[in-house]
Amino acid sequence: MLNLSKGRYRARIAATEADLEAARRLRTLAFRGPAATDLDRDDFDVACTHVMVEDTRDGDLVCCFRLMHLGSGAEIGRSYSAQFYELSALADFDGPMVEMGRFCIHPDRRDPDILRVAWGAMTAYVDREGVEMLFGCSSFHGTEARDYADAFALLRDRHIAPKRWLPRVKAPAVFRFASRLRRKPDLKRAQAKMPPLLRTYLLMGGWVSDHAVIDRDLGTLHVFTGLEIRAVPPARARLLRAVAG
Strands 133-141 and 97-105, bridge-based pairing? parallel
Per-residue DSSP letter, 160? B
Summarize the confidence of residues 200-223 as an average pLDDT. 97
Note whether residue 203 is domain-resident: no
Note whether residue 13 is domain-resident: yes
Q: What is the mean pLDDT of the chain?
A: 96
Reported as type and span, the H/E element at residue 229 is none
The domain tally of the chain equals 1
Q: Could you tell me the pLDDT band of residue 245, with boundaries at 50, 70 and 90?
A: confident
Rounded Cα distance between 160 and 207, Å, is: 5
Give the pLDDT of residue 3. Answer: 85
Note whether residue 101 is domain-resident: yes
Query: Model's pTM, two decimal places?
Result: 0.95
Give the pLDDT of residue 117. Answer: 96
pLDDT at 228 over 70: yes
Note whether residue 89 is domain-resident: yes
Q: How far is CA 197 from CA 45, 94, 99, 101, in A?
A: 20, 26, 14, 11
The CA dihedral of 51, 136, 235, 230, to the nearest 10 degrees, is 110
Q: Could you tell me the pLDDT band of residue 1, with boundaries at 50, 70 and 90?
A: low
Determine contact, residues 19/50, Cβ cutoff 8 Å.
Answer: yes
Which of 122, 74, 71 is CA-nearest to residue 97?
71
Rounded Cα distance between 48 and 69, Å, is: 8
Give the pLDDT of residue 67. Answer: 98
CATH of the domain at 100: 3.40.630.30
Rounded Cα distance between 145 and 152, Å, is: 8
Determine contact, residues 118/54, Cβ cutoff 8 Å.
Answer: no
Rounded Cα distance between 20 and 109, Å, is: 20
Per-residue pLDDT tens for 24-41? Answer: 999 999 999 999 999 999
Reported as type and span, the H/E element at residue 50 is strand 49-55
Summarize the confidence of residues 135-143 as an average pLDDT. 97
Note whether residue 52 is domain-resident: yes
Note whether residue 15 is domain-resident: yes
The CA dihedral of 165, 170, 175, 181, to the nearest 10 degrees, is 40
Note whether residue 206 is domain-resident: no
The parent domain of residue 102 ranges over 3-142+162-170+225-244
Note whether residue 205 is domain-resident: no
